[in-house]
C-alpha cells in the first residue's frame, strides 16, 4: 500500500484520489521542505535502528514542532511498528514514520468539528482573541471580504480599544472591504463598543458581526474579566451568541503558539483556532501538537497574503499538503 493509499485509509477512505489544492500545496511548501530536510538529515547518519536512532528521531520531531507529547508517543509507537514491519532500510523506515504521523494526526481529529457555526436566527457573532501581532485584525479583514463576496451583510467591532493602531487598522480594513466598523476612542470600555455593535447588528439586520479584542496575555486576570464581560454583553442581547470564539495564532512562532493556546484555553472557552502565516513558516507541524495536546479544532488557516488565502481548514487537504512528496510513491511496472 502506497502513502496516498495509507492517507486515504487514515481518513476513512473518503478520498478516491489525492485532493488537488494548490493553496494547501503551496502554503505548506516550507513546512514540507523543512520536515523533509530534517528527515533526510536523520537518515544521513542512519546506521541501524537502535535506541540512539529513536532518541534522535524524538529530538527531530520536537524540533519540527509536532509537540513533545506527540514526539514521545510517536517514537514509542514507531519502535513497535519498525519491529512489526521489519523496517531496516531508511526508505522503509521513512515510510513507517510518515504513515504513523498521518495515522496519529487523523486519530487526534476524530469527531472534530472544523466548521464555522452560524446563528439559527439573528446576527451571527464571531469573537476573535489572541496576542498582538498574531494576525487577528488581518484575519478579520480577510474573512469580512470573503463573507461579503458570498452576499453576507457584515459588521466589524473594534474591541481592542487599548491601541490606537488596532482601531485604525480595523477601520482601514472596513474601508477596503466596504463594510462598516463600530469604534470608539482609545481607552474606551471594550464591552461598551461591542454593545453598540451588537445593537447596530440587530437593528440593521446584519448577518455577521466580527469582533476584535485586545491581546494582553501578560495579565491573564484582567484579560479574563474583559473577555467575560464582552461575552456577557453579547449573550444578553443575542442569547445564542457568540457562535464562535476564535483564537488567532501565528504559525511562525511554533511552540510559542502552542503555549499561547494553552494559556488562552485556561482564560476563556475557545471554540476554534485560526492558524495564520503557515505559508511563511516551516512549523506547520504545530497543527499536530494542537490536535494532540489541546483537542481544540483548527477552523481557518492562512496560506498566503492574498484576500482569498485565508482558507477553511480541511484536514485531508492539510495532510496531503504536509506529507505529499516526502516519500516517493513506488512506480507501477
User: CA–CA separation, 194 vs 189, rounded Å?
Assistant: 9
Residue 197 among known ligand-binding residues: no
Which ranges constitute the DSSP H helices of 86-180? 90-108, 136-149, 164-177
Residue 278 among known ligand-binding residues: yes
User: CA–CA separation, 240 vs 209, rounded Å?
Assistant: 13
Residue 119 among known ligand-binding residues: no
How large is the C-alpha radius of gyration of the chain? 22
User: CA–CA separation, 251 vs 123, rounded Å?
Assistant: 30
Residue 303 among known ligand-binding residues: no
Residue 14 among known ligand-binding residues: no
Residue 131 among known ligand-binding residues: yes
Cβ atoms within 10 Å, residue 222:
11
Residue 254 among known ligand-binding residues: no
Residue 175 among known ligand-binding residues: no
Residue 102 among known ligand-binding residues: no
- Strands of 272-276's sheet in order across: 181-182, 154-158, 208-212, 124-129, 244-250, 272-276, 298-302, 310-312
Residue 111 among known ligand-binding residues: no
Residue 92 among known ligand-binding residues: no
Q: Do 244 and 117 contact (CB within 8 A), yes or no? A: yes
Closest CA to 39 of 99, 87, 98: 98
Which ranges constitute the DSSP H helices of the chain? 3-10, 22-27, 29-44, 51-63, 68-85, 90-108, 136-149, 164-177, 190-203, 220-237, 255-267, 286-293, 315-323
User: CA–CA separation, 217 vs 1, rounded Å?
Assistant: 47
Residue 136 among known ligand-binding residues: yes
Tell me if residue 66 falls in helix, strand or coil. coil
C-alpha cell at 237: 442581547
Residue 306 among known ligand-binding residues: no
Residue 109 among known ligand-binding residues: no
Tell me if residue 97 falls in helix, strand or coil. helix
Residue 138 among known ligand-binding residues: no
Binding residues for GTP: 130-137, 212-216, 276-279
Q: Residues marked as binding?
A: 130-137, 212-216, 276-279
Amino acid at each position: 500500500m502506497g502513502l496516498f493509499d495509507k492517507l486515504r485509509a487514515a481518513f476513512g477512505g473518503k478520498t478516491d484520489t489525492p485532493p488537488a489544492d494548490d493553496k494547501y500545496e503551496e502554503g505548506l511548501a516550507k513546512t514540507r521542505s523543512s520536515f523533509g530536510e530534517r528527515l533526510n538529515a536523520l537518515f544521513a547518519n542512519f546506521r541501524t535502528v537502535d535506541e540512539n536512532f529513536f532518541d534522535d528521531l524524538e529530538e527531530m520531531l520536537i524540533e519540527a514542532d509536532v509537540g513533545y507529547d506527540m514526539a514521545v508517543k510517536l517514537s514509542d509507537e514507531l519502535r513497535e511498528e519498525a519491529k512489526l514491519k521489519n523496517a531496516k532500510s531508511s526508505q522503509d523506515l521513512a515510510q513507517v514514520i510518515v504513515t504513523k504521523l498521518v495515522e496519529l494526526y487523523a486519530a487526534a481529529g476524530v469527531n472534530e468539528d472544523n466548521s464555522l457555526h452560524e446563528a439559527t436566527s439573528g446576527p451571527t457573532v464571531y469573537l476573535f482573541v489572541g496576542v498582538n501581532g498574531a494576525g487577528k485584525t488581518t484575519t478579520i479583514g480577510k474573512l469580512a471580504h470573503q463573507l461579503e463576496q458570498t452576499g453576507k451583510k457584515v459588521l466589524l467591532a473594534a474591541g481592542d480599544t487599548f491601541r490606537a493602531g488596532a482601531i485604525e487598522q480595523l477601520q482601514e480594513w472596513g474601508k477596503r472591504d466596504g463594510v462598516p466598523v463600530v469604534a470608539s476612542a482609545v481607552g474606551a470600555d471594550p464591552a461598551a463598543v461591542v454593545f453598540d455593535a451588537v445593537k447596530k447588528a440587530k437593528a440593521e439586520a446584519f448577518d455577521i458581526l466580527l469582533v476584535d479584542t485586545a491581546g494582553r496575555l501578560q495579565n491573564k486576570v484582567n484579560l479574563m474579566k474583559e473577555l467575560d464581560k464582552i461575552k456577557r454583553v453579547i449573550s444578553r442581547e443575542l442569547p445564542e451568541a457568540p457562535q464562535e470564539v476564535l483564537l488567532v495564532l501565528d504559525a511562525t512562532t511554533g511552540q510559542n503558539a502552542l503555549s499561547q493556546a494553552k494559556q488562552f484555553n485556561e482564560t476563556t472557552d475557545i471554540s476554534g483556532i485560526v492558524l495564520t502565516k503557515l505559508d511563511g513558516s516551516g512549523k506547520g507541524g504545530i497543527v499536530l501538537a494542537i490536535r494532540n495536546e489541546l483537542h481544540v479544532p483548527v477552523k481557518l488557516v492562512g496560506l498566503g497574503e492574498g484576500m482569498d488565502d485565508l482558507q477553511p481548514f480541511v484536514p485531508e487537504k492539510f495532510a496531503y499538503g504536509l506529507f505529499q512528496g516526502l516519500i516517493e510513491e513506488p512506480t507501477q511496472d
